[in-house]
């Protein structure tokens, strides 16, 4: 009979996600993961298989939590422009007010592993595609409600907004709030 697990796998994944987010995939050592989760390296690898598999679970969690937050935020009362602008400001505030400016785990992963790790690329695409879908849905709702012009191509605008999110999250690592808010204002001016 095997030893019982002494940890909650979901909690360990969340703690590992925070570590990968702060240090990157390559910059995170097995010792970092053991320290962050409070779980021995052997137990971590027994539960998750490898550092790469644990990273995949961390990306899944990041995507799920991010999609839930985005959907809830965009569906609050207000016009499409108000909700999308508020969402972009929220992301910037999270980045600027955190203890470390670490940007977006998905964007960081694309920069670090894009072209090198097909599974990571697929995970990032899944995360960004969900956000694009939510932006497009909110813009279409705005068109039905009359606060977004019928001339706006909701899907193209959603891709542009996703590109803006990624740019904001990267720029938030080196720029301040006034510059980032000007970018946000420009991004939502088109609808």
What are 104's two structure tokens? 């977006």
Share of the chain above pLDDT 90, in %: 86
Which residue bears the tokens 């940890």? 7
Q: Say yes or no to pLDDT of 183 above 60.
A: yes
Say what the pLDDT of residue 87 is. 98
- Band of the pLDDT at 79, cuts 50, 70, 90? very high
- What whole-number distance in Å separates Cα of residue 103 and Cα of residue 24? 11
pLDDT band at 4 (very low <50, low <70, confident <90, very high): very low
| Per-residue pLDDT reduced to its tens digit, 140-180 | 999 999 999 999 999 999 999 999 999 999 999 999 999 99
Q: Is residue 91 within 8 Å of residue 159, measured between CB atoms?
A: no
| b (16+ CB within 10 A) / e for 72-86 | ebbeeeebbbebbbe
Q: What are phi and psi of 24, to 5 degrees?
A: 85, 170
Give the ranges where the chain is alpha helix by DSSP (H): 9-23, 30-37, 41-48, 51-74, 80-97, 105-113, 118-145, 154-171, 177-188
* Residue 120: how many other CB atoms lie within 10 Å: 21
């Amino acid at each position: 009979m095997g030893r019982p697990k002494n940890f909650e796998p979901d909690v360990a994944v969340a703690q590992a996600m925070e570590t990968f987010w702060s240090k990157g995939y390559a910059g995170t050592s097995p010792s970092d993961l053991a320290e962050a989760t409070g779980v021995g390296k052997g137990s971590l690898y027994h539960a998750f298989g490898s550092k790469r598999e644990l990273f995949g679970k961390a990306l899944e969690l990041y995507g799920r939590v991010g999609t839930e937050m985005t959907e809830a935020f965009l569906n609050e009362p207000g016009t499409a422009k108000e909700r999308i602008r508020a969402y972009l400001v929220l992301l910037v505030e999270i980045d600027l007010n955190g203890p470390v400016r670490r940007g977006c785990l998905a964007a960081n992963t694309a920069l670090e592993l894009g072209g090198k790790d097909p599974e990571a690329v697929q995970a990032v695409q899944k995360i960004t595609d969900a956000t694009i879908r939510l932006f497009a849905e909110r813009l279409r709702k705005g068109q039905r409600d009359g606060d977004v012009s019928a001339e706006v191509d909701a899907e193209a605008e959603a891709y542009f907004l996703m590109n803006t999110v990624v740019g904001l999250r990267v720029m938030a690592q080196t720029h301040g709030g006034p510059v980032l808010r000007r970018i946000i204002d420009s991004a939502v001016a088109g609808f």
